[in-house]
Amino acid sequence: MRIVMMGAGLFAEPTFEALLASSHTVAGLVTQPDRLVGQERGSTRQTGKGMKNIAQDHGVPVLQPDSINTPEGVAGLHAWQPELLVVAAYGQILSREVLESAPRGGINVHASLLPKYRGAAPIQWAIWHGETRTGVTIIRMTTGLDAGDMLAQEAVEIGPGETAGELEARLAPLGARLAIRVVDQITAGTAQGVKQDAAQVTKAPKMKKEHGAIDWTRTAAQVCDHVRAMQPWPTPYTFWHRAGSEPLRLIVLKATPRAGTEESAAPGTILVQSDLSRLSVAAGAGVVDVVELQPAGKKRMSAAEFLRGHPIKEGDHFGPENE
């Protein structure tokens, strides 16, 4: 099978490498322009070796258009004469003309148990919503967003402390394995699709920086899920408000809900206590223990390190910058 790979970031790299190691021919790579890869794109675009670097190491030609859906982009695909497009975390919705550039269309490696979490950030939203299972689904691509028939699917458990970045790195090789299986089935003419249940569809829209803002009115468990979901991007953050000082921006890197604890204080209140190794915050229900954090312009540190230099006083609280 003559294939064009389309993808960017850490999630796409194992699929690309698996195709290069397979019996199929990779005619070219379409990836994002250099200015759009890496951490700027967030956790769904973490970069390992780099798609472009992998392609160059294997002598595979590369296209990096701002949009593959332009006449020039479509012409570039036709020049490679692909039979099938294999897409993973590419970051652009493909037009009908792009999909029709390959006689067998395209398949997409999607990091969720479709039809749940269609969209650009399925891993983050699954964790944010407190899911304990997710997985990878291979779909036949259509012009609808992640709406095609499912060709393969496999589930995994989400670790209780796992961040979005850690989960993405774990799902990526699973996606590669399923993608190769489906490409082999398409080659053999044995691939069979299953329609998605429209009643079960949920959305996973693209992450923005403001999604990182912690909402302390949520439950303690939900706040901790948020902290995990926003790493490594857009990063979970809050502001420390204290009398006589400007709000201090803090990135919360690790937090745990304190089991069986109720607190009558307003959400976001920092609880003053004798144990100076614990930074505890009232949530909408329960208490969050902040374990690791990073003040603006400083290195990451433990709660104990932070408290040694930042004593908590009655009335101190976390919340948005402008209350």
**160 CB burial (10 A radius; 0-12, 13-18, 19+):** exposed
Q: Which of 200, 223, 250 lies at the terminal end of a domain, its last residue?
A: 200
With helix as H, strand as E and coil as C, how does 208-259 read?
CHHHHECCCCCEHHHHHHHHHHCCCCCCCEEEEECCCCCCEEEEEEEEEECC
132 and 26 inside one domain: yes
59 and 129 inside one domain: yes
Which domain CATH number covers 70? 3.40.50.170
- What does the pLDDT profile of the chain (323 residues) look like in tens digits? 999 999 999 999 999 999 999 999 999 999 999 865 444 444 345 668 899 999 999 999 999 999 999 999 999 999 999 999 999 999 999 999 999 999 999 999 999 999 999 999 999 999 999 999 999 999 999 999 999 999 999 999 999 999 999 999 999 999 999 999 999 999 999 999 999 999 999 999 999 999 999 999 999 999 999 999 999 999 999 999 999 899 999 999 999 998 766 677 999 999 987 677 789 999 999 999 999 999 999 999 999 999 999 989 999 999 999 98
Alpha-carbon distances, residue 321 vs 175, 241, 246, 247, 318 (angstroms): 39, 8, 9, 6, 9
146 and 229 inside one domain: no
156 and 234 inside one domain: no
Q: Which of 162, 178, 200 lies at the terminal end of a domain, its last residue?
A: 200
pTM of the model: 0.94
Structural domain for 167, as ranges: 2-200
Q: Is 20 left (phi over 0), alpha (psi -120 to 50) or beta?
A: alpha
